[in-house]
Amino acid sequence: EAIEFEQTDSRTYSVPITSNGVLEVSIQNFNGMSAAEYAHISILDDVAPTVTDYSLDDEDVITITLEDSQSGVDFETIYAVDSEGDQVFPISQDRSAGEVKFDMDSMGLTLHASDLTGNQLQVTFSTHLDNGEEVLNNIEGTETTILAGDQEESSASADTSGTDAETDSSAADE
């Protein structure tokens, strides 16, 4: 699909990068000669944080380890919703370890977290009794990727090396 470009000086053009994929830049000189270049774009964070570990201690405190390999976890956005629909905040955070702790609600606790670009994670933790001991069940959750147009746009530039060129830019998803 063709995308808009902006000429920034006599030999340089700029295009907004709004999604990961392959960018094809093709140019055609005034005499009909053409060339094409391809760039693989994978710099935009389009993945929500993930839960890498979780455990429940004897005092019914759940420790959840989060990770986001691109922009990082936004610890300011972390909260949970308990079984009564009340919003609760972590009783402690260890940002360097990626850990947050909550008092576990035996009827379920839904964690909400975002990364620094706004991708969102929502995971529900629940427990069951096993020989009189409260044990965590498998987690269930969803990830929400923000729309590319909602995040800050990165840009790419192409230098046409002094040719009087018309530019036809197009991008295709990988």
Tell me the mean pLDDT in the region 3-27. 81
Q: What is the 3-state secondary structure (H, E, C) of 91-143?
A: CEEECCCCEEEEECCCCCEEEEEEECCCCEEEEEECEEEECCEEEECCCEEEE
pTM of the model: 0.61
Whose tokens are 């360097």? That residue is 96
Q: Determine the Cα–Cα distance for residues 128 and 106; give it in Å rounded to an integer.
A: 8
* DSSP, res 164: -
pLDDT of residue 43: 65
The string of pLDDT tens digits covering residues 161-170 is: 443 333 333 4
The string of pLDDT tens digits covering residues 110-140 is: 999 998 888 899 999 988 888 888 888 877 7
Q: Where are the domains of the chain?
A: 6-44+151-172, 50-149
pLDDT of residue 131: 86
* DSSP, res 148: G
Beta strands across the sheet bearing 34-41: 34-41, 21-29, 165-172
Evaluate if residue 7 carries a pLDDT over 60. yes
Tell me the mean pLDDT in the region 42-49. 73
Q: Please tell me which residue, 112 or 69, carries the higher pLDDT value.
A: 112
pLDDT of residue 44: 64
